[in-house]
Structure 1
Amino acid sequence: MKRNANRYKRRLIPLAVFVVGLLIFLLIVSRLAKNEEMMMRDRCSLNAQIYADELEKDFNRSSIATDMMAYMIMDEGGMPRNFAKAAAGMMQRSPYIDSIQLAPDGIIADVYPESARIIGKENLFALPDRVQSVTYSRDNKATIIQGPFQLSEGHEGLAVRQPIFFENPDGTERFWGFSIVVLKAPDIFESMANDLKATHNEYRLSKTEPGDDEYHVVLASREYLDRPEAQTFFYGGCYWKLEVMPERGWQPSFPLVLSFLLGLGIVLLLTGMTMLLLKLQERRSHLHRMANTDSLTGLYNRQGFDEAVSKWLRKHPEEKATAVIIDIDNFKLVNDLNSHRAGDEALKNLARTMQQHFSDVAFVGRNGGDEFCALFRGMSAAEAGPLLDGFATRRHLFRYDGKVHSYTISMGYAEYPTQARSRSSLFQCADAALYAVKLRGKQGLSQYQPHVGEAGRSQLAFGLQDIAMHLPGAILIYKADEQEEILFANLELIHLFDCDTLEEFLAYTNGTFRGIVHPDDYDRVETSIDEQIAASGSTGTDAVVYRIITKKGRLRRVLDKGRLVDTDFYGRIFYVVLLDESSWD
């Protein structure tokens, strides 16, 4: 009986090990299949995002020609004199451009090359297949892309149309027409299509038309895609959607029959399978980190930061924390004066500084552009305030192109849960506090106060240039060097010289302070200004009376009240208010 029992065990245990091992193996195989599909989906999603971004960049690079044509038209007050030469140069720099066109009042007048002209002077507003898109572009002042459509050469093209408006003397705008770039539809997509096919992916690119929500297929490697990963973006008044899936579908790469046979060695393979699972999980984690990290600065991006903050708040619903929004002051000026690469260096510098000062006690991230965010864990506003104050008021320096540049920041902060109990409300409060700093003149720190609302924010809607251009007084800014180059003149000053536009005023005065002062008064005026500035106890201000000659030949006497100021970007400059003799009383 015992012998029978042992025999039964010898048979049952191996059978049990086999069955259990086979079940475990089948579970592992099932898990592998799911993980592989997830990995394939992550890879397809990443490919869709990468090539959608690249496609958007190609559009941007190719449509620069419309911007350049628009600037030429506005600079020359109408049709450019050297259209063909300028168009030829632009087409040499972009291989995707089929032709460049100008359409004053919507009528195609100039085409380069001329061989690309389909018929005579087409009126875009009279063509049934184009009137909707050009009307949308004009009425919404938006650059749009229409197509693809058949070109005369037998291939397809996309039309990028940018509306051009001139400002009338009374402040209204007048529609001039369109600058148009026709892109070669197959060529601009060729690199994306070849790369996706080379990596064994199927794809489909679709777009809407301006003002329409229905997608139309532009390019596809096959007619039907099975549950593809998609990435959408908005460009040229259209929504674009790039869908990607593996060439072989979502099926696992290993054959199921062979997998079943390999189940006989499940015990020996269990360790290897576990290692493979860990490898797949590591891959997924890597892709997750890429999706949540800002590529330029290495900080959390908006999605990653929101996830980290939300998770911490869920775990510590009653623990104090301080939310901070940080913004680089005059960041556009950094880009405009030094290039966008300099702006990138400033962003990376601020990110490194935040990590050095805050990473031990806070989550730090980049919202986008020049705006950063942080959440100080377990710290009240009173505890975080001194740390933030020192960081806000310090001078931030970065090196670019062999030179040291500086920038300042503004910071707003709010306390959790005292001032807000949700992540979104908390950072809205911090954002309102940031705007309070902006209202005070930037470079500083402010804690959220309930009275900082829309009424205070409305002041920021008035840009300094808009205010200066419409103040009832002539304002002049020029460099305090030998050239005395004019940097700014408002409308009042332009009209004081009987000019209508800034260009006309700069041409009349040669763009210098010397061109403003009557020639017989210039030496006296310069001497008087230098003596007043150099006088003991001077605050850098001066006042002097001199004559000017307007463009119409009228002689006027003005009072010049100026102040010499040192700036980071322009060096020493004069801010001046000119008062006509008729307004001295």
Structure 2
Amino acid sequence: MFISLVVFLIGTCLAGLIVYKTNLHEKENKLTITQLNATTYGERIKQEISDGIEITHTLQQLLIDGNGTINKFDMIANNLVNDSVESIQLAPNGVVTDIYPEEGNEAGKIALLNDKERGKISCYARDNHILITQGPFELKQGGEGIAVRNPVYLEDGTGQEYFWGFTIVILRVQDVFSGSLSAVSEFGYEYRLSKTVAPWDDTYEIVSQSDDKLTSPISYGFTIGEEKWKFELMPKGGWENKKSVILLGGILSVIVLLLTGLTCVILIYRENKIKFQTLANMDALTNIYNRYGFDTLADRMIAKNPRNHYIAALLDVDDFKLINDVYGHTYGDRALKNLADSMKKFFPSDVLLGRNGGDEFCVLIPNCTYEDAKEKLTQFTKTPKTFLCKGEEHSFYISLGYAEYPRSGSNRSQLMRCADAALYEIKLHGKNGCMAYREGLQSGVRKQLGFALKDVSEHLPGAFIIYKADKKDDELFYANREFLHMIGYKNLDEFFSHTKKSFRNLIREDEQKQMESSIWKQIDGGNENDYIYFHMRKSDGSYISVLDHGRIVETPQYGRVFYVMFIDWEDIHIHYSDLII
């Protein structure tokens, strides 16, 4: 009896200790997961507000470019508006004069700086050069809104800065945060979103909250302009796990339940561990492996069967920034998710898929060679990808580079560098293509010659080409849109095909020798800045009179390279005939 009592007491104490530890562990897990969700969705809410702020910045840039005016405001605002925007407004000198849409928002045409409710904070934004948010406040159309006011400053004729007015976006509270707040509610959380009343006031006002009261919530703070925001979360059932307390009574009665309780603790621990491991390896947006997860599993796959052949591919979305700028980051995310979904449908289940970050994705195909992969990867690349925006389907395209193990690289890291070099080569020659790695391609040139050069050349105010500076074997590398338009080509591929990638084939036959002699005479004589006049062949076989102005540069990959700007000789005479003597 005594021994039984001792066993019972020891069993009771052990059971109580196990229950206590289990309860504490689950509470810590809840705190950790809640903190992760508060951070994740707090950042998402911040981004949703930032999307509205971005509209005001776009209008600000248009005002700066237009010297204080915006032509076709309604058309521009219509392109910028999204589902969460109630209205877009312009307020020169602090007086709202333009509203889109105007219908139903006429009451918004007020003098902000003198308004009783809006004057103080608007003056503060004007005087301190900061963007401010104000609200929530009731909208005439129903619901609540938040105003984002961005002060705009221009320069007068003497270069002095002056206050032009405000660019304004009114956001609907129930729409702008609906996705994030609905998600945390579905995940079993009570929430509260608050912001400071004004930049100079630390008092918080509630923007949106769930029905029940929050007790000891997890808080995530962020700042917009000089105003502080706070996003708070707590589980709907509270932090304590009442089931563990009930389990204690069962454990005290029966030793079997004690063992069952121990088993439950182990299983719960392992389940939580797997969840966190999965969270660490998966990309939340696309539900495929993130870079860490992909690299880890790719190394394991190759190490497990080092004699097998593998194809590693890198791909990204062509002009992804344009999607974000035109349609907004929400639809950019949809494009990325749709791309990941198309990868899952297209590739077999044994293919490893990952997202490196941004709009770049990676693929590892086992038991595959260059010959096996070419047709399949080309088919996937050329198939248009789509996303829906406001009921309309929009297409986007990708570029892809790939390399074979062990032919091109002896490990995963080398393989990815080779795939990256092939991807860059595609980007340099027109995008929306698929290329296998070959000897001579260097991903290291990417920062020196690639994207920076393309960005510069695309925005130069003139026709521009780059070609290899070789007297016997010149090779065209690049031509910007304005040059292609000047001589009548649709794209870079058509230009390369028609000219056989030779600058010499652009020069009229009877001028080739004299032209090339003149160029190299300047170079060899140390003079790189003279203009040269000649007739350049257009795509239809006709000729155009041009002046070229070139410079020779040493590059790591191609050696000496010509950067050449072209000017239409007839345009000079037409526009500047009164200046030409």
Tell me the TM-score range normalised by the shorter chain: 0.5 to 0.7
Are 2:177 and 1:201 aligned?
Answer: no
User: Is the Cα–Cα contact under 8 Å of residues 196 and 205 in structure 2 kept in the other structure?
Assistant: yes
Are 2:19 and 1:29 aligned?
Answer: yes
User: Is the Cα–Cα contact under 8 Å of residues 22 and 244 in structure 2 kept in the other structure?
Assistant: no
Distance (whole Å) between structure 2 residues aligned to residue 85 and residue 318 of structure 1 = 59
Give the 5 Å matches for 1:472-551: none
Distance (whole Å) between structure 1 residues aligned to residue 484 and residue 363 of structure 2 = 43
User: Is the Cα–Cα contact under 8 Å of residues 154 and 162 in structure 2 kept in the other structure?
Assistant: yes
1:114–1:209 CA distance, 2 compared to 1 (3 A): closer
Are 2:451 and 1:460 aligned?
Answer: yes
1:45–1:87 CA distance, 2 compared to 1 (3 A): same
Are 2:327 and 1:327 aligned?
Answer: no
1:280–1:202 CA distance, 2 compared to 1 (3 A): farther
The secondary structure found in structure 2 opposite 1:159 is strand
1:129–1:225 CA distance, 2 compared to 1 (3 A): farther
- 1:41 Cα offset (Å): 3.1
User: Is the Cα–Cα contact under 8 Å of residues 134 and 147 in structure 2 kept in the other structure?
Assistant: yes
The residue number in structure 2 matching 1:244 is: 233
- Report the residue type matching 2:11 in the other structure: G
- 1:318 Cα offset (Å): 9.8
Are 2:116 and 1:102 aligned?
Answer: no
* RMSD of aligned residue pairs (Cα, Å): 6.5
The residue number in structure 2 matching 1:117 is: 112
The secondary structure found in structure 1 opposite 2:288 is coil
The residue number in structure 2 matching 1:409 is: 399
- Of 363, 371, 381, which residue of structure 1 is paired with 2:360? 371
The secondary structure found in structure 2 opposite 1:59 is helix
The secondary structure found in structure 2 opposite 1:410 is strand
Are 2:290 and 1:301 aligned?
Answer: yes
- Report the residue type matching 1:371 in the other structure: E
The secondary structure found in structure 2 opposite 1:181 is strand
User: Is the Cα–Cα contact under 8 Å of residues 219 and 230 in structure 2 kept in the other structure?
Assistant: no
TM-score by length of 2: 0.54
Are 2:539 and 1:563 aligned?
Answer: yes
Distance (whole Å) between structure 1 residues aligned to residue 365 and residue 483 of structure 2 = 45
- 1:101 Cα offset (Å): 3.7
Cα deviation, 1:544-566, whole Å, max 9, x if unaligned, reads xxxxxxxxxxxxxx98954379x
Distance (whole Å) between structure 1 residues aligned to residue 203 and residue 308 of structure 2 = 51
Cα deviation, 1:432-478, whole Å, max 9, x if unaligned, reads 5643553455531326979642576433212278347444589xxxx
Q: Could you list the runs of 5+ residues in structure 1 that have no partner in the other structure?
A: 1-9, 135-144, 475-486, 494-511, 514-532, 534-540, 544-557, 566-576
1:315–1:25 CA distance, 2 compared to 1 (3 A): farther
1:270–1:41 CA distance, 2 compared to 1 (3 A): same
The residue number in structure 1 matching 2:437 is: 446
TM-score by length of 1: 0.54
The residue number in structure 1 matching 2:69 is: 79
- 1:372 Cα offset (Å): 0.9
- Report the residue type matching 2:314 in the other structure: I
Are 2:49 and 1:59 aligned?
Answer: yes
Are 2:218 and 1:228 aligned?
Answer: yes
1:466–1:454 CA distance, 2 compared to 1 (3 A): closer
- 1:347 Cα offset (Å): 4.5
- 1:393 Cα offset (Å): 4.2
Report which stretch shifted further, 344-353 or 255-264: 255-264
User: Is the Cα–Cα contact under 8 Å of residues 324 and 427 in structure 1 kept in the other structure?
Assistant: yes
Distance (whole Å) between structure 2 residues aligned to residue 318 and residue 335 of structure 1 = 40
- 1:184 Cα offset (Å): 7.0
- 1:397 Cα offset (Å): 1.9
Are 2:341 and 1:348 aligned?
Answer: yes
Distance (whole Å) between structure 1 residues aligned to residue 154 and residue 341 of structure 2 = 37
Distance (whole Å) between structure 1 residues aligned to residue 33 and residue 17 of structure 2 = 24
Distance (whole Å) between structure 2 residues aligned to residue 399 and residue 34 of structure 1 = 48
- Of 141, 146, 151, which residue of structure 1 is paired with 2:132? 146
The secondary structure found in structure 2 opposite 1:110 is coil
The residue number in structure 1 matching 2:475 is: none
The residue number in structure 1 matching 2:34 is: 44
Q: Could you list the runs of 5+ residues in structure 2 that have no partner in the other structure?
A: 100-107, 466-479, 490-497, 499-505, 509-533, 542-565, 574-581
The secondary structure found in structure 2 opposite 1:463 is helix
Distance (whole Å) between structure 2 residues aligned to residue 334 and residue 65 of structure 1 = 15
Distance (whole Å) between structure 1 residues aligned to residue 85 and residue 256 of structure 2 = 59
Distance (whole Å) between structure 2 residues aligned to residue 90 and residue 390 of structure 1 = 40
User: Is the Cα–Cα contact under 8 Å of residues 226 and 249 in structure 1 kept in the other structure?
Assistant: no
- Report the residue type matching 1:29 in the other structure: V
Distance (whole Å) between structure 1 residues aligned to residue 339 and residue 438 of structure 2 = 25
User: Is the Cα–Cα contact under 8 Å of residues 432 and 448 in structure 1 kept in the other structure?
Assistant: no
Q: How many residues align?
A: 459
Distance (whole Å) between structure 1 residues aligned to residue 136 and residue 335 of structure 2 = 43
- Of 129, 143, 168, which residue of structure 2 is paired with 1:181? 168
Distance (whole Å) between structure 2 residues aligned to residue 388 and residue 61 of structure 1 = 40
The secondary structure found in structure 1 opposite 2:23 is helix
- 1:365 Cα offset (Å): 0.4
1:206–1:414 CA distance, 2 compared to 1 (3 A): farther
The residue number in structure 2 matching 1:253 is: 242
The secondary structure found in structure 1 opposite 2:114 is coil
User: Is the Cα–Cα contact under 8 Å of residues 334 and 342 in structure 1 kept in the other structure?
Assistant: no
Distance (whole Å) between structure 2 residues aligned to residue 349 and residue 426 of structure 1 = 24
